[in-house]
Amino acid sequence: MSETVRLTQTVQKGGCAAKVAAHELRALLARVKFPPTDPAVRVDGSTFDDAAIVEINDRLALVQTLDFFTPIVDSPRLFGQIAAANALSDVYAMGGLPKTAMAILAYPVAKLDRQVISEVIQGACETLSQAKTSLVGGHSIDDETLKFGLSVTGFVDPRRVWTNAGAQPGDVLILTKPLGTGTLTAGLKKGAWSENEMAEAMDSMSQINALTDLLSDTPGIHAATDVTGFGLAGHGLQLAKESQCGLEFSFSHLPLFCKALTSLTAGHLTKAHRTNAEYVGEEISFNESLSPTQRLMMFDPQTSGGLLLTVDPDRAAAILSRIQKRFPRASAVGRVIPSPAARGSAAARLSVEP
pLDDT at residue 144 tops 60: yes
Which letter does DSSP use for residue 109 in this model? T
Which CATH number do you get for residue 179?
A: 3.90.650.10
Structure confidence at residue 24 (pLDDT) = 86
Number of domains in the chain: 2
Nearest-angstrom CA–CA distance, 72 and 17: 9
Q: How many CB atoms lie within 10 A of CB 174?
A: 24
Confidence of residue 28 (pLDDT cuts 50, 70, 90): confident
Task: Please report, for the domain that includes residue 134, its CATH number.
Answer: 3.30.1330.10
Which residues does residue 224 pair with via DSSP β-bridges, in sequence order? 309
Whether residue 167 lies inside any domain: the answer is no
Q: What is the mean pLDDT of residues 27-44?
A: 89
**Contact yes or no for 187/193 (Cβ under 8 A):** yes
Mean pLDDT of all residues in 114-137 = 97
Same domain, yes or no: 205 and 334: yes
The residue from 128, 159, 190 where one domain ends is 159
Separation CA 62–CA 56 (nearest Å): 7
Mean pLDDT of 254-259: 96
Rg (CA), the chain: 19
Residues 349 and 232 in one domain: yes
Indicate whether this model's pTM tops 0.75: yes
* 168-223 residue pLDDT tens: 999 999 999 999 999 999 999 999 999 999 999 999 999 999 998 888 778 899 99
Question: What is the model's pLDDT at position 36?
Answer: 86
**Same-domain status, 128 and 37:** yes
Q: How far apart are CA 90 and CA 282, in angstroms?
A: 28
Enumerate the active-site residues.
Answer: 16
Same-domain status, 332 and 200:
yes
Quote the domain boundaries for residue 80.
7-159
pLDDT at residue 16, rounded to an integer: 65
Does 152 lie in the same domain as 200?
Answer: no
> Residue 57: inside a domain, yes or no?
yes
User: Residue 278 to residues 93, 137, 180, 244, 292: CA-CA distances in angstroms?
Assistant: 25, 38, 19, 21, 15
Question: Distance (Å, rounded) from C-alpha 310 to C-alpha 165?
Answer: 10
Given this model, what pLDDT does residue 2 score?
40
Claim to verify: residue 193 and residue 309 sit in the same structural domain: yes
Which pLDDT score is estimated for 344? 54
